[in-house]
Amino acid sequence: MDIADFRKEYTRGGLSRREVPDDPSLLFGRWLEEAIVAELPEPNAMLLATASVECRPSARTVLLKGFEDGKFLFFTNYESRKGRQIAGNPHVSLSFVWLPLERQVHVEGTAAPLPAVESDAYFDSRPYGSRIGALVSPQSRVIPSRHELVRRFDEAFDAYRHRPLLRPSCWGGYAVTPQRYEFWQGRENRLHDRILYVLQSDGDWRIERLAP
Ligand X SMILES: Cc1cc2nc3c(=O)[nH]c(=O)nc-3n(C[C@H](O)[C@H](O)[C@H](O)COP(=O)(O)O)c2cc1C
> In the complex, which residues of this chain contact ligand X (CB under 6 A)?
42, 45, 58, 60-63, 74-76, 80-82, 139-140
- Judged by beta carbon, residue 174 or residue 205, the one nearer ligand X is 174
Q: What is the DSSP string of 108-176?
A: EEEEEEPPHHHHHHHHHHS-HHHHHHHHH--TTS--S-HHHHHHHHHHHHHHTTTS--PPPTTEEEEEE
Q: Please, what is the minimum distance in Å from the beta carbon of residue 83 to ligand X?
A: 6
CB within 8 Å of 172: residues ≥ 6 apart: 75, 76, 78, 113, 114, 116, 119, 123
Q: Please, what is the minimum distance in Å from the beta carbon of residue 200 to ligand X?
A: 31
The letter for the amino acid at 9 is: E
- Judged by beta carbon, residue 110 or residue 140, the one nearer ligand X is 140
Residue 33: other Cβ atoms inside 10 A = 11
Selecting among 126, 167, 190, 209, the annotated active-site residue is 190
Q: Please, what is the minimum distance in Å from the beta carbon of residue 101 to ligand X?
A: 18
- Judged by beta carbon, residue 106 or residue 187, the one nearer ligand X is 106
Active site residue 190: yes
Closest C-alpha among 182, 174, 187 to residue 207: 182
Q: Please, what is the minimum distance in Å from the beta carbon of residue 67 to ligand X?
A: 14
- Judged by beta carbon, residue 77 or residue 185, the one nearer ligand X is 77
Q: Kindly list the catalytic residues.
A: 190
